[in-house]
Amino acid sequence: MAQDLFEAARAAMARAHAPYSHFPVGAALRDGAGGIHAGCNVENASYPEGWCAETTALGRFVMAGGGQITEIAVVAQKMARIMPCGGCRQRLAEFAAPDARLHLCDATGVVETVAFADIFPRGFGLERPA
Ligand code: THU
């Protein structure tokens, strides 16, 4: 059920700190136990120091216990079907299974669902330590 994940991402978007781009983004991740971890983008007066909604959500996911990400939703009110940026794809790949579902959303709901492997093929990865 992607609707709850979409709604968590949309609620997170309302918390965005985006006074420079005026481009609020929300992201929500579902963990293996069904828990939801949401985040917004957090910009900074020193522009490169800001970060994406997916990265905030990842921090909350790890702090809640981490594990594996099974589902992801991303929403931006000013863009239908926003795609995670390249850096966030690498960060998400640390925890997302290749068959994790990524829900691309507009302000009203899920527009398209793809597999994580579709947006991050042949990504860099090391063997994880035991
Ligand atoms: N942004 C995200 O939060 N997630 C994305 O996937 C793409 C871009 C943010 C970064 C910045 O605060 C604003 O959107 C404009 O680039």
- Please determine, looking at this structure, whether the domain spanning 2-118 carries the CATH number 3.40.50.620: no
Check pocket membership of 23 for ligand 1, CB cut-off 6 A: yes
- The pLDDT of residue 130 is 65
- The pLDDT of residue 128 is 65
C-alpha distance from residue 66 to each of 53, 61, 82 (Å): 17, 5, 24
pTM for this entry: 0.96
CA 33 to chain centre: 17
Residue 94 is a catalytic residue: no
- The pLDDT of residue 71 is 98
The residue with tokens 């863009």 is 79
Residue 25 Cα: closest atom of ligand 1: 3
Per-residue pLDDT of the chain (130 residues; tens, 9 = 90+): 799 999 999 999 999 999 999 999 999 999 999 999 999 999 999 999 999 999 999 999 999 999 999 999 999 999 999 999 999 999 999 999 999 999 999 999 999 999 999 999 999 988 766 6
